[in-house]
Amino acid sequence: MAGVDVVVHFAAESHVDRSIAGAADFVSTNVVGTQVLLQAALEHGVSRFVHVSTDEVYGSIDEGAWPESHPLEPNSPYSASKAGSDLLARAFHRTHGLPVCITRCSNNYGPHQFPEKVIPLFVTNLLDGRKVPLYGDGLNVRDWLHVDDHCRGIQLVAEKGRDGEVYNIGGGTELTNKELTLRLLAAVGADESMIEPVADRKGHDRRYSVDWSKIADELGYAPRVSFERGLAETVRWYREHRTWWEPLKTP
């Protein structure tokens, strides 16, 4: 990090299912890995450290939306490890004066997303004529954020965010998993017979929703990619880039 002005820390183990199967890699990468980066940034005098986190650190919310001041109540080993890294980032700012900002985003989607995540998993399964596994009753709610909008928000925080502050970044499109699945089926010309109900995930959070008025008011953030356009472009990308994702799905 010698000579580096800004660090944007995206790196994470981020798949909830894998964290349930085994938490060790998540603690090692997300907690210990973040501490290593924070320490290096401190020692080399980095002038801005942006720590990219997740809305999952807040837990689950039945109605309304979380402000940045909401207590952290993570429910999976993944989100617990991210909450731990958030607290380390905050501590390095408060203890050492490291100029840290934290961002917490809603569910990302877009091209190049690893096919373990729900949208690329479902799209690639359907393109192969395989069914899609829908957890539980399918009524868990997520807010969807296009990767380009997420990166735009992170850039605003890197350039103009206030040291020590947390900024939620949302997409403004809340859907149940069932609604999302139906949109994906329509996008590839499949019907509901391709849905395979499966047992619900352990500790499955019912609903996420972040209040992103702070980044909008302070930094001028607003999502630009409509979900309709973003999803259509994403499905088309996976349709046209089979050679990219096929090796990633090979056991």
- Which residues are known to be catalytic? 55-56, 78
What is the phi-psi region of residue 129: left when phi exceeds 0, alpha when psi lies from -120 to 50, beta otherwise?
left
In sign, the C-alpha dihedral spanning 41, 169, 30, 245 is negative
Q: Whole-angstrom Cα distance, residue 192 to residue 132?
A: 10
CA angle 187, 188, 194 (to 5 degrees): 110
Report the alpha-carbon distance of residue 162 to residue 141 in Å, rounded.
Answer: 31
Helix (H, G, I), strand (E, B) or coil at 127: helix
Do residues 34 and 76 lie in contact, with contact meaning Cβ atoms separated by under 8 Å?
A: no
